Amino acid sequence: MINKKIILGLFIVSFLGACASPTAMLGPVYTLSSSGNVLQASLSYGSNEMITMYTGKTPLENLQEITEIENNNRRNIHKKTLESEDFYFLVKQKIEKTNKILNLSSQ
């Protein structure tokens, strides 16, 4: 009798496993097991679900998108800086100043 219940339970869990993403509950389950606070776990799960419903992406996907945008902006700023005329003139002035100092010291 017990074997039938276990087999039936495993069959139902494996059959219905795709109904919800299994990782969606990992965070709240970990929070519940570590803190024992049901309110905190339900708040964590509820906020994740609201963010997913509002944006269409999970909080982790939103975080990855934000960091990707920031990295692209940084790269563009560096590229614009290196290609600007001000940077060219600044480097040229530093090289000329260093050459003058080297010429004076070698005399």
What phi-psi label fits residue 84: left (phi over 0), alpha (psi between -120 and 50 degrees) or beta? Answer: beta
- Between the ranges 16-25, 33-42, 45-54, where is the mean pLDDT highest? 45-54
Query: What is the model's pLDDT at position 77?
Result: 66
68, 65, 46, 67: which is closest to 57 by C-alpha? 65
Question: Domain segments of the chain: what residues?
Answer: 2-56
43 pLDDT more than 60: yes
CA dihedral 79, 82, 87, 89 (to 10 degrees): -140
> pLDDT tens across 61-97, in order?
888 888 877 666 666 667 777 778 888 888 899 999 8
The 10 Å Cβ neighbour count of residue 104 is 8
